[in-house]
Amino acid sequence: MQAQIARTAPEFRAPIFRPTPPVPAFDLEPDPFDTLGTVVSVRAGGALYAEGDCATHWYRVTSGVLRTCKLLSDGRRQIDRFLFAGDFFGFEPEVEHNFSAEAVSTATVVRYPRNRLDLATADNPRVGVRLFQITLAQLGKANGRLMLLGRKTAEERVASFLLEMRKRSSFAAAIDLPMSRVDIADYLGLTIETVSRTFSALKQDRVIALPNAHRVTIIDLAALEELSGDV
């Protein structure tokens, strides 16, 4: 693979902070985090934090879509996750963020201070357990992506991606893809051309329909699952 040189630099617009009423950290159970959150808005294309920033907070998506990604010095980019409403992110093993977080579409997130988290954890064992569960779920998903990036073909990657997006759209037949082809490519370890060509081929084969570039309708789900390579 040859270097793919620096694509349009992300616009580093300052996030908008607003004073907010307390926001619950987890909606499934009452929690001592409930009073810790602050709402933050980020415009489409804006950065919430950059790789290397001090990881003073962690976050949960309220609305909109974000991405976490990493750059190599020559501009090659790998997207780690797409973040949708309800997703947690910003947990880091180190002091610094290993990824940058940017808004794919205008988004609101709730921000939790990391230090107060430590205090809450000391008080309540359930907090630690909950964090453990969340991190474990993320680890499971990250591990699933290793197979995709290491061993799957372009077609399998795209099919897997569409199925993942379908899952995140509550299994609707019509899927909205808020991210660009560049984002999809950088998520799947491919180029935009390969992603585009693969979409076209799937359309040609009547597996999917493309009403427009950011809308996919699954016509033949069984075929798509077959193509995804996951048994």
Partner DNA sequence: CGCGCGCTTGACTAACTTCAAAGATGGTGG
Partner DNA sequence: CCACCATCTTTGAAGTTAGTCAAGCGCGCG
Question: 197 in helix, strand or coil?
Answer: helix
108 contacts 62 by C-beta, under 8 angstroms: yes
Backbone angles phi, psi at 47, to 5 degrees: -105, 135
Closest residue by Cα to residue 63 from 109, 22, 121: 109
Interface region with DNA, contact rule CB under 7 A, candidates 14-22, 30-38, 126-134, 180-188:
180-188
User: Binding to a copy of itself (CB under 8 A): which residues in 87-116?
Assistant: 91-94, 98-99
Instruction: State the nearest-atom distance from the C-beta of 141 to a copy of itself, in Å.
Output: 8
| Enclosing H/E stretch for 174 | strand 174-176
Name which position in 141, 167, 206, 214 contacts DNA (CB under 7 A).
Answer: 214
* Binding status of residue 170 toward DNA by CB under 7 A: no
Q: In the bound complex, what is the minimum distance in angstroms from residue 45's beta carbon to a copy of itself?
A: 22
The yes or no reply on residue 80 touching a copy of itself (CB under 8 A) is yes
- The DSSP result for 99-167, as a single string, is SEEEESS-EEEEEEEHHHHHHHHHH-HHHHHHHHHHHHHHHHHHHHHHHHHHH--HHHHHHHHHHHHHH
Structure tokens given for 142:
């990250």
Among 200, 205, 217, 226, binds DNA (CB under 7 A): 200
Task: Kindly list the residues in this chain that would bind a copy of itself in the complex (CB under 8 A).
Answer: 1, 70, 72-73, 76-78, 80, 91-94, 98-99, 121-129, 131-133, 135-140, 142-147, 149-153, 186, 188-189, 229-231
Task: Kindly list the residues in this chain that would bind DNA in the complex (CB under 7 A).
Answer: 1-4, 8, 153-155, 180-182, 189-197, 199-200, 210, 212-214
